[in-house]
Amino acid sequence: MSDYTSTARADGAQVPTTFPPRRLWVGGRWRGASGGATYRSENPATLEHICDIADASAEDVDDAVRAAQAAFDGSGWKEMGGAERGRILFRAADLIEADTRYLSALETLEVGKLYRDGVFGDIPATLATFRYYAGYADKLHGSTVQLPDYAGRHRLNYTLREPLGVIGAITPWNNPIVVAGWKIAPALAAGNTVVIKPPEDAALSILRLAEILAEAGVPDGVFNVVPGRGPTAGAALARHPGLAKLTFTGSPEVGALMNTHAGGQFRKVTLELGGKNPQIVFPDADLDRALPFIAVGNFLHQGQVCAAGTRVYVHDSLVEEVTRRLADHAESLTLGDPFDADVAMGPVVNRQQHERIGGYLGLGVAEGAELVTGGSLAQRPGYFVEPTVFLGRHDQRIAREEIFGPVATIIPFSDTTDVLTLANDSHFGLNAIIYTEDLHTAQTTARDLRVGNVWINAFGIPDMTTPWGGRAGSGIGRELGAAGIEAYTEEKTVQMMF
């Protein structure tokens, strides 16, 4: 797509500014939504209009599912060898790599993500996911089990790993292409076809991905994109009887609706939901190593990260130092244009999130938490929030609910056994971060935390080689790693006597 206007910045970044309307990608071609419906996409840093985006209706979603089913049945995608599908997906990864700056710019423009985080984080992570599953495509197989003879006959059981069919994917705005890649790459590698409903606030990079996949050689109809609103396009996709599987990443509230939408249909589902993740700083933690991770765990992408560790349990002996150093870090963060290399924090994604985070800032004070720094919505145009540190208690709502903003709550603890109880006392169970130099503490705490992922002396983004997912209110199933592609297959057992 080169049909946009852009401005060149002093640092060489080419910043797209306005686009003509964006359409649906169905059956390998662009088309408008039925009735010509569109919605407005807005830049959260400037509040400027970026473009109008087609707003898919239930009828459009139905067309996309039909196109995906026709491609599953007749495009040759599932019959193609895994090596050939892998070759196409490797090519797609190369094209994503070549498009790094443009894709990053789209997400900065729509979501307010730091441009450098896209260039050095999100896009490299996405193409790594594509390469990982491209390499997996010809290594997916079943297993063989030899059984003892029965009544003088030999027996052999084996399993076949088959693609499921049409995969419906519904994704969130916070890491648009990264999270979409966790679904699209393994689903396609395994021979499925896909219909994705991208988030209202971040459809552009996924629409661009449609062009990239087509250029790489993915047949028409194998990959379809239906931008639109959650309660209409999203609900129509989640309800559609043509799906073999629904994979959803988003809030727990909408995640809970997913099975309701399926209305008693038996279908596979993966749900990657939110988190209110603990960071535990044990008394022997090396603070010089831990502090940068504690800070990133709270303020990366303005705190709009499902893995964010925003309840920070700190041993009494370290509370004063951690509080001071985290507050110093928060105060050092420059807010501003997310394209600017000197800026450390962009805006939050939209007005609704801005107001919601503002509500939590007031709530923290009303609940009696000590406001250490920040505490206000920034007084400037755009949806900016001051990075905030509270010194609070485990039972306060700011320490229990997912705020999805740059708001850290430090919670002192004295007993290293009790802190595990506090960390596990949550309806979420996505991940946890622990800081200790003691191997025994590290291993036993990692073992006893009721979460899907533990970082020890580190915080980062999930790695494509190992499974990622939550327990309890944080979801069902796993993405990434071997589990992340097997989830897009059916294992059929064949039992033979000869």
Q: Which of residues 414-443 bind ligand NAD (CB under 6 A)?
A: 430
Half-sphere exposure of 122 (CA within 13 A, CB side): 31
Task: Assess 130 for contact with ligand NAD (CB under 6 A).
Answer: no
- Enter the tokens of residue 483: 């589990």
With CB under 6 A as the contact rule, the residue among 171, 205, 310, 409 that binds ligand NAD is 171
107 catalytic, yes or no? no
Q: Which stretch binds ligand NAD (CB under 6 A): 7-15, 164-172, 276-284, 419-427?
A: 164-172
Of the residues 42, 107, 110, 272, only one is catalytic, namely 272
Helix (H) or strand (E) holding 428: none
Burial of 27 (0-12, 13-18, 19+ CB in 10 A): middle
251 scored as a contact of ligand NAD (CB under 6 A):
yes
- Per the listing, tokens 């959260």 go with 44
For residue 257, state whether it binds ligand NAD (rule: CB under 6 A).
yes
For ligand NAD, the closer CB: 189 or 254: 254
Nearer to ligand NAD, 110 or 340 (CB): 110
Stretch that binds ligand NAD, among 60-68, 89-97, 103-111, 266-274 (CB under 6 A): 266-274
172 binds ligand NAD (CB under 6 A): yes
- For 119, phi then psi, to 5°, come to -65, -40
Q: Are 122 and 463 in contact (CB under 8 A)?
A: no
Structural tokens at position 219: 């047949």
Q: Which amino acid is it at 332?
A: S
Q: Which residues contact 82 (CB under 8 A, 6 or more apart)?
A: 137, 138, 139, 140, 189, 191
| Interface stretch with ligand NAD, choices 52-60, 157-165, 230-238, 310-318 (CB under 6 A) | 230-238
Closer residue to ligand NAD, CB minimum distance, 82 or 274: 274
Residue from 273, 335, 345, 422 binding ligand NAD (CB under 6 A): 273
Interface pattern 180-219 for ligand NAD (x via CB under 6 A): -----------------x-xx-------------------
Provide the minimum distance between the beta carbon of 306 and ligand NAD in the complex, in angstroms, as a whole number. Answer: 3
Supply 395's token pair. 């039972």
Q: How far is the CB of 308 from ligand NAD (least distance, A)?
A: 8
* Gap between the Cα atoms of 151 and 244, Å rounded: 40
CB 347 within 8 A of CB 384: yes
Query: CA geometry: angle at 70 spanning 67 and 74, to 5°?
Result: 140
Closest by CA position to 436, among listed 318, 297, 277, 275: 318
Q: Is 231 in the site for ligand NAD (CB under 6 A)?
A: yes
Closest CB 295 distance from ligand NAD, rounded Å: 19
Site string for ligand NAD, 365-404 (x = CB under 6 A): -------------------------------------x-x
Neighbours of 208 (CB within 10 A): 19
Q: Which helix (H) or strand (E) holds 225?
A: strand 223-225
Q: What is the largest CA-CA distance in the chain?
A: 84
Q: Is 170 in the site for ligand NAD (CB under 6 A)?
A: yes
Burial of 310 (0-12, 13-18, 19+ CB in 10 A): buried
Q: Are 170 and 234 in contact, with CB atoms under 8 Å apart?
A: yes
170 vs 398 by CB, closer to ligand NAD: 170
Of 234, 278, 303, 392, which lies in the binding site for ligand NAD, with binding defined by CB under 6 A?
234
**254 lines the binding site for ligand NAD (CB under 6 A):** yes
Residue (32 or 230) nearer to ligand NAD, CB: 230
Q: Interacting stretch for ligand NAD, rule CB under 6 A, among 83-91, 161-169, 210-218, 269-277? A: 269-277
Roughly what angle, to the nearest 10 degrees, separates helices 204-216 and 82-98? 130
- Catalytic machinery residues: 272
Interface ranges with ligand NAD (CB under 6 A): 170-175, 179, 197, 199-200, 230-231, 234-235, 238, 249-251, 254, 257, 272-275, 306, 402, 404, 430, 470, 475
